[in-house]
Amino acid sequence: MKYAGKKVITMIITLFAVTLFVFLAFHFISGDPATSMLGTEATPERVEALREEMGLNDPVLLQYGRWALNFLKGDMGISYSYRMSVSEMVADKIPVTVTLTILAFLMMVVIAIPLGIYTAKHVGGVIDRIIYMINQVIMAFPPFFAGILITLVFGRILKLFTPGGYVSYQKDFFGFVGYLIFPAFAIALPKAAMAVKLLRSSVISESKLDYVRTAYSRGNSTKAVLYKHVLKNALIPVITFLGMALADMIAGSIIIEQVFSIPGLGRILLTSISNRDYPVVMAVIVCISLLVLVVNMVVDIIYGLVDPRISIE
């Protein structure tokens, strides 16, 4: 419990550091928000009045505090280009990105774990070698290129889905999930290849340890040794990797959303970057980092549960 508490506190401190960093970066580099809102033709008096109204003349840290507090209350500011509440713009995009990431994660686990165990069991065999080669190639795939090829093969040739035919989750949830399966596959594929490789090498190096020999000498079958002894330990580094991969997938979905034209967080982030709509950029970056940090924290806690040695340190 103490360990979990420590992780929660670390996460809160990190979140504080990240938001402060994001806030300061935009504060000092992005120029004057009052000018951006009013346009370049506004009179200096009007700009000054708006600055006063928005509290831009206050000390920086006070401004950060106000922004962070509002953020916690769910008020993320006003978009420069759409003049609407950022929270409203972002709120319905979060479920899209989260669903996409969860789907991709599940796919990665379902593909990687059985395949990794299989290759580890048959090291040096023909199938192991073939999988190794395929793995190496897939790891080199940029996810968006995988997405393009999937569109070409599953969308165009096999006609399993309509490219660009995104269905909103509010309208038809199953249609929504059905469409997301293909982008999720594109995200999952390279990560699954890495996980297979990691699991294989982890099982192999674990099998060389003394306790495995002892387990054999006590008359255990190969199967029992693998499933009851080796896998328990071999999965530990894989769990760390899966956690990191999940965090990566959240960010990776930014690109895949573009390939499959899915209106998620990535989409809105990119439009706001090109519109220089800083409140939206900040809000989306903070939302994505929050997701990433929560994932990291949960993985750390699970890690402590799986491997009690960690939480004692």
Partner 1 sequence: MIRNGKKNYNLIVGSIITGFILLLILVGTFYTPYDPDAMDAASKFAGVSLKHPMGCDNFGRDIFSRVLEGSRTTFIVAAGTVFIGTFFGIIMGALTGYYGGIVDEILMRFNDAMFAFPSILLALLFISLFGSGKYQVILALGIAFIPSFARIVRSEFIKCKNMDYVKNAKLQGASNIRIMFVHILPNTVTVLLSAIMIGFNNAVLAEAGMSFLGIGVQPPDASLGRMLSEAQTYLFSAPTYAIFPGLIIILMVLGFSLLGDGLKSEE
State the residues that interact with partner 1 by CB under 8 A.
13-14, 17-18, 21-22, 25-26, 29-30, 136-137, 139-145, 148-149, 151-152, 156, 247-248, 250-252, 254-255, 258-259, 269-270, 272-274, 276, 278, 281, 285, 288-289, 292-293, 296
d(CA 74, CA 94): 13
Q: How far is the CB of 60 from partner 1 (least distance, A)?
A: 16
Tokens 């990560």 -> residue = 191
Structure tokens at 130: 């073939």
Q: How far is the CB of 225 from partner 1 (least distance, A)?
A: 26
Structure tokens at 281: 């950029």
The answer to whether the CB of 117 falls within 8 A of the CB of 203 is yes
Q: Which is nearer to partner 1, 14 or 220 (CB)?
A: 14
DSSP secondary structure letters along 241-261:
HHHHHHHHHHHHHHHHHHHTT
Structure tokens at 124: 């040096």
Instruction: For residue 131, give the amino acid letter.
Output: I
Q: How far is the CB of 139 from partner 1 (least distance, A)?
A: 7
d(CA 55, CA 80): 16
Q: Which is nearer to partner 1, 226 or 297 (CB)?
A: 297
Per-residue burial over 12-37, b if 16 or more Cβ lie within 10 Å, else e, is eeebeebbeebbeebbeeeeebbebb
Q: Which is nearer to partner 1, 225 or 249 (CB)?
A: 249
Q: How far is the CB of 43 from partner 1 (least distance, A)?
A: 28
d(CA 83, CA 85): 7
**Which residues fall within 8 angstroms of residue 203, CB to CB, at 6 or more apart?**
116, 117, 120, 226, 230, 231, 234
Q: Which is nearer to partner 1, 136 or 214 (CB)?
A: 136
The answer to whether the CB of 119 falls within 8 A of the CB of 203 is no
Q: Which is nearer to partner 1, 43 or 274 (CB)?
A: 274
DSSP secondary structure letters along 274-287:
HHT-HHHHHHHHHH
d(CA 278, CA 123): 52
Q: How far is the CB of 214 from partner 1 (least distance, A)?
A: 28
Q: How far is the CB of 198 from partner 1 (least distance, A)?
A: 13
Q: Which is nearer to partner 1, 177 or 254 (CB)?
A: 254
Q: Which is nearer to partner 1, 131 or 225 (CB)?
A: 131
Q: How far is the CB of 34 from partner 1 (least distance, A)?
A: 18
